[in-house]
């Protein structure tokens, strides 16, 4: 059975620093007498299963390996159905989730006897479900409050929408025009695939409009 530790770092948007908690995870692993074997970092929503780096980690990991995160909400802000699907994948791989905000998971960093391991796994699974449910509620509450705020701002004529990083979008557009792949653009500009797809969609709409006007 393997016993490697993989660090997973996630932020929801390109403007957030997904690597923010890296040093904290390193310090925690060292306090447990462990070294982190690899890092998986991405800017994707925790409410979606579309997280390529998380699934690349799970594809590489073997039974007994640990997935180390700062908080459970880095793994999941998923709805109940999607959380069950992700849990099933994690369980099938035999990977253990260790979160700094979940003390019951810390002992999973070191292998023990079979009875102790099974007891810890059962306890950790229950606590994970609880924290995942709390993370989902926090996500839906914030979304609801945000929607209410936007509705009110629109009614009062104050809503301007989220500002666009025009410089980044221009760089992405040039890269797409040059035939770069999404992966290459991600690596070069540290942006998400969602942002690249948005730029590509806007460019496509603009091109169709020009064709319709006979400009192309």
Higher pLDDT, 2 or 209: 2
- Where do we find the tokens 């709805």? 79
Nearest to 93 by CA among 120, 118, 60: 60
Query: In the CATH scheme, what architecture does the domain 5-137 have?
Result: 3-Layer(aba) Sandwich (3.40)
Nearest to 84 by CA among 129, 151, 150, 137: 129
| Token pair for 4 | 């490697």
Total Cβ atoms within 10 A of residue 201? 10
What band does 87 get if pLDDT is binned at 50, 70 and 90? very high
For the stretch 159-208, pLDDT in tens is 666 677 888 888 898 889 889 999 889 888 888 888 999 899 888 877 65
DSSP 3-state of 9: strand
pTM assigned to the model = 0.67
Q: What is the mean pLDDT of the chain?
A: 86
CA torsion 87-90-95-100 (nearest 10°) is: -40
Active site residues: 12
- Where do we find the tokens 């799970």? 58
Half-sphere exposure in the Cβ direction for 177 (13 Å, CA): 9
């Amino acid at each position: 059975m393997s016993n490697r530790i993989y660090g997973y770092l996630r932020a929801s948007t390109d403007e957030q620093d997904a690597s923010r908690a890296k040093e904290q995870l390193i310090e925690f692993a060292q306090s447990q007498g462990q070294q982190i074997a690899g890092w998986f970092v991405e800017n994707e929503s925790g409410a979606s299963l579309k997280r390529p780096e998380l699934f690349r980690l799970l594809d590489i990991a073997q039974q007994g390996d640990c997935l180390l995160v700062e908080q459970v909400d880095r793994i999941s802000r998923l709805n109940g159905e999607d959380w069950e699907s992700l849990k099933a994948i994690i369980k099938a791989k035999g990977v253990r989730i260790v979160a700094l905000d979940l003390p019951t998971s810390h002992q999973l960093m070191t292998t023990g006897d079979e009875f102790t391991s099974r007891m810890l796994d059962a306890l950790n699974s229950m606590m994970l479900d609880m924290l995942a449910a709390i993370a989902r509620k926090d996500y839906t509450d914030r979304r609801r409050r945000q929607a209410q705020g936007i509705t009110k701002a629109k009614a009062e004529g104050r809503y301007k929408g989220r500002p666009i990083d025009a410089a980044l979008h221009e760089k992405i557009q040039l890269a797409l025009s040059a035939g770069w792949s999404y992966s290459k653009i991600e690596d070069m500009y540290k942006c998400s695939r969602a942002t690249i797809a948005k730029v590509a969609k806007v460019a496509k709409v603009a091109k169709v409009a020009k064709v319709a006007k006979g400009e192309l």
